[in-house]
Structure 1
Amino acid sequence: MKKLSYIILGIIIGALATYYYCPRQIDDGATEIVKPKGVITPDQAMALNNNWTKYRKAAVDSAAARQGREIDDRSTWWSIKNIENYIAYSKKQTDSLGYTITGLRVYLGVYGENAGRTKRNLTTMFVVPTVKKAKDKASMNPFAFQDEDEEDCEECEPLNEGGNGGGGSGYPN
C-alpha cells in the first residue's frame, strides 16, 4: 500500500509539472490583426484612380473602340472566399513543386482574337504566385549567404476569370 501511494504522488507531481512547464496555446478568440504594408487612404486611392482616368482612359477606351466596344474593363473583382481558396490552393501547389510561396503578383493581360465576342481583345487581370525555391535549413554550403530573389511560379496555375469590377464602386469616372 505504501508503494501505491508513492506512485499516485508521483503521477500527481508529474501532472502538475507538465501543466506548469509545458507550453500551451491559449486561444481567447482575440487574434491580432496587423495592418498590411502598403495600405493607403481612400483619398489616395481616389487620386490614383483619377490619375488613371486622366492619363490612360482615353488610350485604353480608343483601343476598345477599334474592337467595337465602347469601353474596356479597368478593374477585376474576386470574392474573398475565392481569393482565400486560391491562396490555399497556391500554397499546396507550390509546396508540391518544392517552392515556398512568398506572395502574389497581379498582371494585366489582353484576351486574344479567339476569346469570343464578349472578351475579344479586352483587358483582364490575373494573379500568379511568387516563390522562392525551398532549401534545407541545415545546408553544408558555406557560401549560401542569400536567398535568391522571388520569382513567378511558372509551373503554377494563375487565377483569372474575375468579375468586371462594375457596380458599386465609387472610383471609375
Structure 2
Amino acid sequence: MPSMKKASYVLIGIIIGALATYFFCPRLPENYNDKIVKPKGLITPAEAKELNYNWTKTRKKAVDSAAGKVDDRSSSWSLSDIENYLAYAKNQSDSLGYDMTGIRVYLGVYPGNAPNGKADYTTMFIVPTGKKSVSEASIMDIMLPPPTSDLPVNPLNDGSGSGDGYPQ
C-alpha cells in the first residue's frame, strides 16, 4: 500500500502535467469550426462569359457610341480594399444607427471635368444597404421582410476600369 507521501507526489505530478499540457500544447483557433458557406447566386465562368457576350452584343455599340469612345465596362478593386471597405461600412453603419445587411453596385459616369483621364467614362461604385436599427422587437418585424435601402455611408469608387470584356 502506497504511503500518503508517495500519493501526494503522484497528485502533484498529475497537476504539473495537466498545467504543462494546458500551457504548452497548441490550441485550435476560435473560428476553427467555422465553415465556408457557398454564397447564393454563384454562376460558372462559362455563364459569366455568356452574360458578358450578351452585353457586348446588345449594349456595347450603343454605350460606346453615346460616349464617343470605347467606354469602361468593368471595375475592379483589390481584395484588401474590398475587405477594408466592408469593415469600414459596417462600422460606420453601426455608429449611425443602421444594420448593414448587404451592398449594392451602381453604374455612374464621371463628369466632363473629372481628373486623371476619367472624364465621361463609366464607373461603378459600391453602396452599403440595410435598415435603421430597431431597439425593440415588433410583430411587424416578424410578418414583413425588413425594407433595405442605401445607407448614408460613403460609397466605394475608384476601382480600375477597363474597356475589355470578360476574359475569353
Which of 156, 159, 165 does residue 156 from structure 2 map onto? 159
> CA offsets, 1:41-71, max 9 Å, x none?
1111011000000000001111222xxxx31
Aligned to 1:7: none
Aligned to 1:150: 148
**Is the 2:111–2:119 Cα contact (8 Å) retained in structure 1?**
yes
Question: 2-side partners of 1:156 and 1:97: how far apart?
Answer: 9
Question: 1-side partners of 2:118 and 2:77: how far apart?
Answer: 17
Aligned to 1:6: none
Stretches of structure 1 that go unaligned for 5 or more consecutive residues are: 1-11, 13-24
Count of aligned positions = 141
| Residues 115 and 103 (structure 1), Cα distance of their counterparts in 2 relative to 1, 3 Å cut | same
With the length of structure 2 as denominator, give the TM-score of the two structures: 0.74
Aligned to 2:120: 121
**Is the 2:71–2:163 Cα contact (8 Å) retained in structure 1?**
no
| Residues 110 and 64 (structure 1), Cα distance of their counterparts in 2 relative to 1, 3 Å cut | same
Aligned to 1:18: none
Stretches of structure 2 that go unaligned for 5 or more consecutive residues are: 1-14, 16-27
Task: Report deviation, 1:117.
Answer: 6.4
One-letter amino acid matched to 1:53: T
* Structure 1 or 2: more helix by fraction: 2
* Structure 1 or 2: more strand by fraction: 2
| Residues 120 and 33 (structure 1), Cα distance of their counterparts in 2 relative to 1, 3 Å cut | same
Task: Report deviation, 1:166.
Answer: 6.6
Task: Report deviation, 1:32.
Answer: 1.4
**Is the 2:72–2:121 Cα contact (8 Å) retained in structure 1?**
yes
SS in 2 for 1:102: strand
| Residues 54 and 28 (structure 1), Cα distance of their counterparts in 2 relative to 1, 3 Å cut | closer
Task: Report deviation, 1:142.
Answer: 5.3
| Residues 31 and 166 (structure 1), Cα distance of their counterparts in 2 relative to 1, 3 Å cut | farther
Aligned to 1:21: none
With the length of structure 1 as denominator, give the TM-score of the two structures: 0.72
Pairwise CA RMSD of aligned residues? 2.6
**Is the 2:129–2:148 Cα contact (8 Å) retained in structure 1?**
yes
Aligned to 1:34: 37
Aligned to 2:76: 77
1:88 partnered with 2:91: no
> CA offsets, 1:109-142, max 9 Å, x none?
0011221361111100000000111112x44x55
